[in-house]
Amino acid sequence: MRANGWTDLYDWHIDRASNTPIFRQIYLQARAAILSRTFSAGAKLPSTRDLASRLRVARASVVAAYEQLFAEGYLSGKIGSGTYVSFDLPEPVDRRAPNNGTPRNRKRRTNRGRALGIREFPEASLQDNDRPFNTGRTLVDARTLAVWRTLTGRSLRAFGDRELMYSDPRGSTDLRKAICQYLQAARAVQCTPDQIIVTSGTQQGIDIAIRVLLRPDDEVWVEDPGYPLTRHALAMAGAKLRPIPVDAQGINVRAAMKAAPRATAAVVTPSHQFPTGVVLSMARRLELLAWARETGGWIIEDDYASEFRYSGRPLASLQGLDDCERVIYFGTLNKTLFPGLRIGYAVVPPPLLKAFTNARCLMDRQPPTLQQAILAEFMQEGHLAAHIRRLRLAYRDQRDLLVAELSRRARAYLTVQAPDQGMYLVANLRQGLRDIDVEAAARRNGLVVRAMSPLYKKASPRSALMLGFSGYPRQRILPAVASLGRVLRMQRQPEKQ
């Protein structure tokens, strides 16, 4: 039995001019709401006293209506001690909307309000499947969870007016300060807390940048291959995408200047190119910054997953090299901690701050206060740094295990190298195996491997798989690689070695 209160919020009403007796009007409304499932089975109805006083009718009218509903089997329980919608309704439930006087079959207008948007949305982009080797999955260990629970309790107990009301659209001062210190130390980002805007993640950050910086039909350089969700966001805003090839040094800036000299912006993943994992070389970084300085172009830096670097020196952010306020930097804690957190940040050059803050406010007002309070403490007390240190070790072990197992069980079908950074690796397929076929076959066998070729637009595609290792501990990696080995074998018998 459920007392969720929805029946109290229902639009109960009485038409005093009607010839229909009052008890029958109440009866008909309740019956219609039950049949249409507006009141679900088990829902608690308002007490007869409450409903009578709300409708300003005699209580006896409500009692009579309820009695009839009881007699017909719509209600169960006992008047006076709780009245509930019956679980065994006496006639088939009418799933159609209640007839409120408008003709049911009135022709829908089809020539107006055509929906604009992205129809094709690759399933892999959703990243909600927890099967190995989906990308974008994180592990949250017991220590992080325990601290998070403690801090949630503490933040809730301290909850006051400040947290319950509207607040700064840029996010709380405490969290912006903590993010600023972290970025200065870990990513050599040049910023003050005033330049930080807390977002729900990179996706929202990039959406804000598109709204503020681009007009429909503006040309934008995007990496080829590249991250589909950024491309979709740009396409939805009417930008003209100019795919620019990525080579061993990252996006080819000279090729970009030739192919699309009038571009307004470039969207790049310099520290770990998505999906190839290539690091943008220093020469290319300087070329890109020079282009922005000379043409007034904007650089949108998506610095995802840069916390998880396993070897070699971490390369500082591109923003850290920018001396002319052309780079807008985006980072996310949805990868560092867990995607359900939905907190990221933008570092915005001072001349753009007002426009970004206003756009953020128009989108969804502000970030949620509770999550911000918890995260600010989590960062200030050193838990984020400790979490990163622990997870870096765990992810590195998982990466190494995955590389070793793939080499052991599937060497005939793919080649793989351990990436220095990130949460997935790229396995190049051999023997003419097509990545989209392997992706489909793997899915039928309970595995999620992401084909890389659909991420190419103009450049000639690589037949390769993206395999996420961050979300999967040892005991899940071992059987999953065995299963992937079988899938590959079924796709093609290996050549004799």
- Nearest approach, Cβ of 343 to ligand PLP (angstroms)? 8
Q: Between 90 and 340, whose beta carbon lies closer to ligand PLP? A: 340
Q: Between 423 and 480, whose beta carbon lies closer to ligand PLP? A: 423
Q: Are strands 83-85 and 75-77 parallel, antiparallel or unpaired?
A: antiparallel
- Nearest approach, Cβ of 362 to ligand PLP (angstroms)? 19
Stretch that binds ligand PLP, among 91-99, 328-336, 386-394, 430-438 (CB under 6 A): 328-336
Give the whole-angstrom CA distance, residue 277 versus residue 416.
13
Closest-approach residue to ligand PLP (CB): 201
Q: Between 337 and 488, whose beta carbon lies closer to ligand PLP? A: 337
- Does 329 engage in binding with ligand PLP (CB under 6 A)? no
From candidates 7, 172, 190, 334, binder to ligand PLP by CB under 6 A: 334
Stretch that binds ligand PLP, among 52-60, 188-196, 333-341, 410-418 (CB under 6 A): 333-341
DSSP code of residue 91 = S
| CA-CA-CA-CA torsion sign (420, 425, 430, 435) | negative
Give the whole-angstrom CA distance, residue 444 versus residue 453.
19
Give the whole-angstrom CA distance, residue 6 versus residue 409.
56
- 95 φ, ψ to 5°? -80, -10
- What are the start-end ranges of the H helices in 56-201? 59-71, 123-126, 142-157, 161-164, 173-187
DSSP code of residue 106 = P
Which residues between 234 and 273 bind ligand PLP (CB under 6 A)? 269
Q: Between 52 and 346, whose beta carbon lies closer to ligand PLP? A: 346
Residue type, 405: E
Give the whole-angstrom CA distance, residue 398 versus residue 428.
19
From candidates 48, 83, 195, 203, binder to ligand PLP by CB under 6 A: 203
Q: Between 136 and 367, whose beta carbon lies closer to ligand PLP? A: 136
Which residues between 344 and 373 bind ligand PLP (CB under 6 A)? 344
- Does 332 engage in binding with ligand PLP (CB under 6 A)? yes
Judge contact between 196 and 347, C-beta under 8 A.
Answer: yes
- Nearest approach, Cβ of 204 to ligand PLP (angstroms)? 7
- Nearest approach, Cβ of 154 to ligand PLP (angstroms)? 26
- Does 274 engage in binding with ligand PLP (CB under 6 A)? yes
Which residues between 135 and 164 bind ligand PLP (CB under 6 A)? 136
Give the whole-angstrom CA distance, residue 8 versus residue 474.
51
With tokens 């503020």, the residue in question is 212
- Nearest approach, Cβ of 367 to ligand PLP (angstroms)? 13
- 3-class SS of residue 251: strand
Which residues between 182 and 201 bind ligand PLP (CB under 6 A)? 201
Give the whole-angstrom CA distance, residue 479 versus residue 32.
53
DSSP code of residue 263 = -
Q: Between 302 and 405, whose beta carbon lies closer to ligand PLP? A: 302
DSSP string, 300-366: EEE-TTTT-B-SSPPPPPSGGG-SSS-EEEEEEHHHHT-GGG--EEEE--GGGHHHHHHHHHHHHSS
- Nearest approach, Cβ of 345 to ligand PLP (angstroms)? 10
- Does 468 engage in binding with ligand PLP (CB under 6 A)? no
- Nearest approach, Cβ of 49 to ligand PLP (angstroms)? 50
| Binding-site string for ligand PLP from residue 297 to residue 316, where x marks contact by CB under 6 A and - marks none | -----x-x------------
Stretch that binds ligand PLP, among 65-73, 216-224, 246-254, 327-335 (CB under 6 A): 327-335
- Alpha carbon of residue 479 to chain centroid: 28
- Nearest approach, Cβ of 143 to ligand PLP (angstroms)? 23
Residues that bind ligand PLP (CB under 6 A): 136, 201-203, 227, 269, 274, 302, 304, 332, 334-335, 339, 344
